[in-house]
Amino acid sequence: IHHTQEAFVKAELDGTSETNRQYLAGFYDSKANTIHLNLVKMAEHMIIQGHRWLNTLEHVTIHLLLGIIEDIAPGTRGELFKDLQSLEKELMLDGKYTVEFASKYKDEKSQQEEAVNEFIADIASGNLDIRALEKTKIQILANFFTKALSQIGINIRPYVRKGESIFNLARLIRRIF
């Protein structure tokens, strides 16, 4: 946890971060297996976004889980990204994650990873409220989570039948870390 912008930037430059991310509220350094949180930027984001919940902690911790899944089942990240593209259409999100959010990153791998992470983080933080979705959309969303976790041998299909249960699953993933 970095209490100043300078400390965050120094940690980034000293670490294995591939790009200068000083504008971010946090990042996960996969090579050092370290999460860095920038408290100054987190506070700024909360002020700018107003009522919207900050999802920095959820976002960076989901990197850990999806990294494990990708290590066990290479290619899963790309599959989840494709699934997310379909989900965005179903949920009328019009490229919010796979185009808008992903465009902040240079390479395809980062774009895919960041888009999927941000989507799950928004569900876990409550920024994307899925509890009132119609049943067909809940099933599509359930398939997304089921596919991801099945890659590491976890069967959640019986537990994700309602928007509330998917919301709770995303929040549980957050609490693991």
One-letter identity of residue 168: N
pLDDT at residue 14, as a whole number? 62
Strand partners, 34: 29
Q: What is the pLDDT of residues 1-19, one digit of tens each?
A: 777 777 877 776 665 445 5
Residue with tokens 């509890």: 131
121, 59 Cβ separation under 8 angstroms: yes
Query: pLDDT digits over 69-93, tens only?
Result: 888 889 988 999 999 999 899 889 9
Round to whole Å and give the CA distance between 8 and 129.
31
Question: pTM of whole model > 0.85?
Answer: no
What pLDDT, on a 0 to 100 scale, did the predictor assign at position 23?
A: 61
Report the pLDDT value the prediction gives residue 54, as an integer from 0 to 100: 74
pLDDT at 53: 60
C-alpha–C-alpha distance, residues 22 and 2, integer Å: 12
Helix (H, G, I), strand (E, B) or coil at 35: strand
Given a cut of 50, the residues of the chain with pLDDT beneath it are 16-17, 51, 177
Distances (CA, A) of 30 to 51, 70, 162: 31, 12, 33
Q: Which amino acid is at 72?
A: I
| Token pair listed for 72 | 């066990």
Specify the pLDDT at position 35. 78
28 DSSP β-pair partners: 35
